[in-house]
Amino acid sequence: MFNLPSLHQVVLMLPAIVVGLTFHEYAHGLVAHWLGDDTARLQGRLTINPAAHVDPVGLLMLFLAGFGWAKPVPVNPLSFTGDMRRGMLLVSLAGPVMNIVMALVAVVVHLALMDLRLPYFTEIMFYIIYINIVLAIFNLLPIPPLDGSKILAGILPGRQEWLYHLETYGIIILILLVFTGAIGYIFRIFVIPLANVLLKMAQII
């Protein structure tokens, strides 16, 4: 049985999810562009327009199963100026780092505007902080095709071919993590403590 969010929760969560996914993918394309790869720009992905990044099916699955996806930004590491391996590490790291940045921005915005007492403002800021932390930690898992697997491949010596072979089974592994509750255990260790720190900084809890 899925613990489906109410319509009220969906309305409040939707801006946070769209912001998180959009800036996550934009960050990948931006860093690739800085490194000399214009693939994302040429395909119209170097933008913060959500329509370029949000996958409707992946978005729906986030609400139905707590597990979803955006449209991956295309990257051609052969176009990088400099070390290709280091470039892929930086591009992969950019998405989770951007999600942390967006959570911190939400903290600042809430502190600056909370005295205005705008309707639903605090609830929306809560979800922007929490969901961006979830996206950052989730994408850092070293399971293909998540960013964490590419980061790990860039850190470990050698070609790490086993990580690329594992990509065939990556989605199955992620589904098992979600449906066995293992992902919830990971979130309790990493997501909740970090989110609570930022929520306290924002004076939301």
DSSP string, 129-159: HHHHHHHHHHHTSS-TTSHHHHHHHHHSSS-
Query: Under a CB-based contact definition with an 8 Å cutoff, are residues 143 and 166 in contact?
Result: yes
Tokens, residue 131: 């969901």
8-17, 68-77, 79-88, 162-171: range with lowest mean pLDDT: 162-171
Output the pLDDT for position 1: 43
Taking 60 as the threshold, does the pLDDT of residue 160 lie above it?
A: yes
Helix (H, G, I), strand (E, B) or coil at 5: coil
Where does the pLDDT of residue 13 fall: very low under 50, low under 70, confident under 90, or very high at 90 and above?
Answer: very high
Q: Is the pLDDT of residue 49 over 50?
A: yes
Pick the more confident residue, 139 or 160. 139
Residues 31-43 pLDDT 10s: 999 999 999 999 9
Question: Is 177 a residue whose pLDDT tops 60?
Answer: yes
Query: CA-to-CA distance for 55 and 46, rounded, in angstroms?
Result: 16
Taking only the tens place, the pLDDT of each residue in 84-134 is 999 999 999 999 999 999 999 999 999 999 999 999 999 999 999 999 999
Residue 50: what residue type?
Answer: P
Q: Where are the alpha helices (DSSP H) in 79-120?
A: 84-113
Q: Is 2's pLDDT higher than 60?
A: no
Enzyme catalytic residues: 25
> Token digits for 136?
């950052």
| Residue spans per domain, the chain | 7-201
Angstrom distance (rounded) from CA 164 to CA 8: 41
Q: Is the dihedral of CA 132, 137, 142, 143 positive or negative?
A: negative
Is the predicted pLDDT of residue 23 greater than 70, yes or no?
A: yes
- Look up the pTM and report it: 0.93
Residue 2, token pair as written in the block:
């899925």
Q: Which residues pair with residue 70 across a beta bridge?
A: 54
**Nearest alpha carbon to residue 140 among 86, 198, 97:** 97
Contact 70, 21 (CB under 8 A): yes
- CA dist 19 and 88 (Å) reads 23
Average pLDDT over residues 27-34: 98
